[in-house]
Structure 1
Amino acid sequence: MANQAPASLVDHLTASGGAEPAGFLNDIVKNLWPNICVAGSNIIKDTVEPILATTLPGPLANLRFVKIDFGHIPIGFSNVDVHKTSAGGIKLDMDMNWEGVCDFELDGKMVPKIGVERVHMKGRISVLLCPLVNVVPLIGAVQIAFLNTPTLKLDFTDAANIADFSVIDSTVRKTILGVIDSMAVLPNRFLVKLDPNTDYFKAFQPHYGVVRVTIGKATGIDVPKHGEKKSGLKKLMAKVKLEDVPDCYVKVKVGAEGEWKTSTVDNNREPEWNESHDFLVTDFEQDITADIQDEDMVGDDDMGLGSTTIKEILLKGGTQELVLTHKGQETSGRLVIHAKFFHLVNDAQAFTIPITTDMLANPAGFQLSLLNKTAEVGSAQVAFSDVLTAEGMVLQDNFNVGNGSSIRAQISLHGVTEAQ
């Protein structure tokens, strides 16, 4: 009999208010669409464009928006699920779909003018209403985030006449999704205060816990077939008819948290890793994505991509065989992964790394830095022992960073205990 998730965890995973239509919300968005377009244009110019300037490579870094028109088709919502949070807030999860007929233009030095005539964007959004207060407007703040990185497809104008169009398409789309990740993909949230007196710390939604992902064994792994893109070394080996056995590693991602990479298993079509990494869990609907790559000195090759949700694998008892796809097509490749869920607890005895006398005597501590763009203009050092001995191992204070400035911050320590 397959392993099952603990009963208390199953209750948490399956808690739902039931899906509801979003007709009223779509009507509101339709009427607000002209205002949303103006606000969206300002966000693109003031926030997104400067980020693009620092993240787009080479000549593309000079691209600037010279026209922003979201068009007449508003964003649509459906499949709304409403439930309460453990922190006493209200959470609405809903599907978002935008088939925008728009008119965006980007122009810059050394690159042709680039136009976008359609945007196809899909994802699931979480709207968090927290904290709830006893005075109008009853809600202290609204926080909006994608549960996972949305899918994005851009239709460019006159694409056939743009040299290296595929490179531009991939680079621009990847950069835009990177900006969305950094701003509004869990654990990142876009917060708007409704009550100016709302305390940010009360609006903060703590993480659910930690999921320990273990990458097991892959089977059916093969090199790209004839006609598919290969790195330079793979092409050379094919010409001299040398057998090409992949050297595989796996890139694992959960939400917008940093990517983790396994070690490389050389010359093996059925590589086995049994390596683990812990990821913070902000929502059980977050995806666990495993991307198998063939390591190459010239450029790594995509071997297969598989994904599941934290909820799905835990309900399956913590083990799942992922079907691998390549460029959207299912392959014969499979990857077994395992997952365990741990609650966060305010108990030093539950630290995964034992606290030693030496650690207490010479702790690394914490540093809070105040930045002006990339330049540090002040910092504060916080001793590890100060947080460890604080009530509930949570230290909340105004920290002096010098030059008459201070940072109001909260630092917390948590141990972990496996869900029972």
Structure 2
Amino acid sequence: MLMKPLMAKLPVVGAVQIAFYSKPDLAWDLTGVAAVAEIGVIESALRGAVQSVLASMLILPHRMLVKLDPLVDYYQCCVPPEGVLRLKIERGYELAPSTRSTASSFINRIADSEPDPYVIVNISEGQDTSPYFYQTPTISNTKNPEFQNCVHDFLIHDRDQQLTVTVYDSDYSWDAVIGTVEVSARELVDGKEMLLELGTAAAPSIDGTDPVPNVAGLLHVSASWFELTKIPSSGISVTDLQSFESKHSGSLTCGMIRCTVNRATGLDVEVRSPTVKLQFSKETFETPAVSTVEGVSDAQNPRWEVEFDTLLMKENTQLGSDSNAVELQVMDQGRPVGSPCVVSLAHLLSSPSGTVEVHHPLGTGDSFLNARVEAYSLSQKES
């Protein structure tokens, strides 16, 4: 739970934000007619649906915001990520055969084949974008795979966030899970190098004691940590930002862009469900739509109050790149509303503290889009 901002008057705290570090364990006991949902297949589907909704709302990087003071400025509630975790997948040891159908297992035993492993690492369920998701190439026919140059940078909002590491066995029909493990960013940073024990479903107990998970092998990983730092008040150049890469060989990321989409005012009465579409380099993000609901929301003065974070890498910090700018476009059911707002990377970095306040006219009287675009650089404390 995060309480921010603090105020000098009651209720003292302007807003409360609630989030989980990882997927919560769910337990329920349904009664009456609803008890039919406890049938295995139905309960599994129901549990998956509930967890999916929770992931989209309450698992970091998502937070649920509750304003205790309705006049509090949304920008005061925003909290940037803590830093960047660089994770390197080194190799696996004695990976067990995956759990496939009886026929597939029988064929594999006859052919004396070994798994074709690959690794997927993700932070938040349902997040499959680069700062939160990574998949290695497949290494063919080995239970002791060596992964070459499998390094990825993850955006971490809290060091207690859990990373789910799953090893799969690739197959022409379907890919089966070999084993999985959850580990926090804090554990990875503190350990620097770790042997992760991959677990499978727990074997049933015979003597009534707690079941013991099966071990499906080990995975060797290494990690390093980089702090996110605000741009100096005088600004910096793109070259200065890129210099981080030359100082840290093998570096993937040199900074981060955060775009906070706050609200719009004075939209035309014909606008029904406005959104904001944001694009930078290959990344595209669109806010939820806001419709008019009496006493709750107003499509002519929509409040989106969401953030979009993306990492700055060498390929998207080139000065000559056509996509080297943040573009925000208000949309209504697929149609643009007004002209796009474009903030170039060079302008952003040269702005005081790497921050551009957007108050963009949408071409219809007093209609404006309000947003904030910020840039951060990386730093690494010497250990």
Equivalent residue number for residue 364 of structure 1: 324
> CA-to-partner distance for each residue in 1:144-181, whole Å, 9 max, x for gaps?
1111111224556699x979954433333222212111
Structure 2 stretches lacking a partner, 5+ long = 203-212, 243-253, 255-312
Deviation at 1:288, TM superposition (A): 1.9
One-letter identity of the residue aligned with 2:327: Q
TM-score between the two structures when normalised by the length of structure 2 = 0.66
Q: 2:226 aligns with which of 329, 342, 347?
A: 342
Equivalent residue number for residue 354 of structure 2: 393
Deviation at 1:281, TM superposition (A): 1.2
Question: 1:417 and 2:291 equivalent?
Answer: no
Structure 1 residue matching 2:26: 3-state secondary structure: strand
* 8 Å contact from structure 2 (residues 359, 369) kept in 1: yes
Deviation at 1:235, TM superposition (A): 4.7
Equivalent residue number for residue 277 of structure 2: none
One-letter identity of the residue aligned with 2:107: M
- Aligned partners of 1:133 and 1:331: how far apart in 2? 51
One-letter identity of the residue aligned with 2:348: V
> CA-to-partner distance for each residue in 1:316-346, whole Å, 9 max, x for gaps?
2x11111110114231501111111101122
> CA-to-partner distance for each residue in 1:267-305, whole Å, 9 max, x for gaps?
110112141111111111111221001111211101010
TM-aligned CA distance change 1:223 to 1:193, over 3 Å: same
Structure possessing the higher relative contact order (Cα contacts under 8 Å, 6 or more residues apart): 2
TM-aligned CA distance change 1:331 to 1:200, over 3 Å: same
Q: How does 1:155-234 map to 2 (within 5 A)?
A: 166-224=40-98, 229-230=99-100, 234=104
Equivalent residue number for residue 170 of structure 2: 295
* 8 Å contact from structure 2 (residues 318, 324) kept in 1: no
> CA-to-partner distance for each residue in 1:13-46, whole Å, 9 max, x for gaps?
xxxxxxxxxxxxxxxxxxxxxxxxxxxxxxxxxx
Structure 1 stretches lacking a partner, 5+ long = 1-126
- Aligned partners of 1:162 and 1:357: how far apart in 2? 55
- Aligned partners of 1:144 and 1:366: how far apart in 2? 29
TM-aligned CA distance change 1:366 to 1:305, over 3 Å: same
RMSD (CA atoms): 3.1
Structure 2 residue matching 1:322: 3-state secondary structure: strand
Q: How does 1:32-43 map to 2 (within 5 A)?
A: none
One-letter identity of the residue aligned with 1:201: Y
One-letter identity of the residue aligned with 1:198: V
* 8 Å contact from structure 1 (residues 218, 336) kept in 2: yes
Structure 1 residue matching 2:53: 3-state secondary structure: helix
Deviation at 1:138, TM superposition (A): 1.3
Q: How does 1:373-384 map to 2 (within 5 A)?
A: 375=334, 377-378=336-337, 380-384=340-344
* 8 Å contact from structure 1 (residues 232, 298) kept in 2: no
**Identical positions, percent:** 27
Question: 1:309 and 2:193 equivalent?
Answer: no
* 8 Å contact from structure 1 (residues 324, 333) kept in 2: yes
- Aligned partners of 1:357 and 1:255: how far apart in 2? 27
Question: Aligned residues, how many?
Answer: 286
Question: 1:146 and 2:20 equivalent?
Answer: yes
> CA-to-partner distance for each residue in 1:223-282, whole Å, 9 max, x for gaps?
13xxxx5159825724x8222311111110123543321111111101121411111111
- Aligned partners of 2:156 and 2:14: how far apart in 1? 24
Deviation at 1:383, TM superposition (A): 2.9
Structure 2 residue matching 1:135: 3-state secondary structure: coil
Q: How does 1:317-336 map to 2 (within 5 A)?
A: 318-328=192-202, 329-336=213-220
Structure 2 residue matching 1:291: 3-state secondary structure: strand
Between Structure 1 and Structure 2, the one with more helix by share is: 1
TM-score between the two structures when normalised by the length of structure 1 = 0.61
One-letter identity of the residue aligned with 1:174: G
TM-aligned CA distance change 1:291 to 1:382, over 3 Å: same
